[in-house]
Amino acid sequence: MKKESVLLCVVLMLLVSGCVTPYAHMGFPGGYREKDMGRNVWRITFAGNGYTSFETVQTFWLYRCSEVALQKGYTGFKILSDVRLTMTVSSDQLIADSSVPVLRPAQMIFIPMDTLPKPAIEADVLFLNGEIEHKPPKVFDAKILKEALEKYVKPDGKKTDGKNVKPHVHDYLYSDRLETTTS
């Protein structure tokens, strides 16, 4: 009986360890958490595991910021921390507009072979009320951003548990392309 329990635990650990961090409260494989810092400032965190892409962490983090803002009765938020968001654009947009900034995640660092990188974003956001002038990548209307991200966080109405978000052009991070994501 004892050997069966150990074997079951090993199998469960292998299954959990091979999955992407789900969009859920912080747990063993990662997830989100938030802390009220006072004066409408919240620290929002989303931490992935070694199988979670930075794009997934960024999408889930932005979605969580929008979700918490709306749950707390706010209409938007401003990112206070120095967060560099990856702003992927399509090749057509690069050719059409060479002034489009293409930001990449922070510099590469050496990771020992026995560990995988674990992407995470933790940043302070100021929740805002009233009419929000959507000015990505720092100021967001929570409802507009949440709606734009919904199809990546919950495709077909379901959570992406066990999968990274589908790679996509981050139109919602550009104020001049906002109309294309909400229509």
Quick: pLDDT tens for 88-110. Answer: 654 454 444 444 444 444 444 44
pLDDT single digits (tens) 140-182: 999 999 999 999 998 877 665 678 998 899 988 886 655 444 4
Which helix or strand (DSSP H or E) is residue 133 part of? none
CA 79 to chain CA centroid, Å, is: 13
pLDDT for 48 beyond 80:
yes
pLDDT, average across residues 117-126: 94
Q: How far apart are CA 79 and CA 183, in angstroms?
A: 25
Task: State both tokens at 141.
Answer: 């209307």
In 3-state terms, what secondary structure has residue 125? strand
Per-residue pLDDT at 91:
45
- So what's the pLDDT on residue 134? 87
Residue 8 CB-density burial (10 A; 0-12 exposed, 13-18 middle, 19+ buried): exposed
Residue 103 dihedral angles phi and psi, to the nearest 5°: -100, 145
For 34-46, what is the mean pLDDT?
97
Which sign does the torsion angle of CA 152, 53, 92, 78 carry? Answer: positive
Whole-prediction pTM value? 0.75
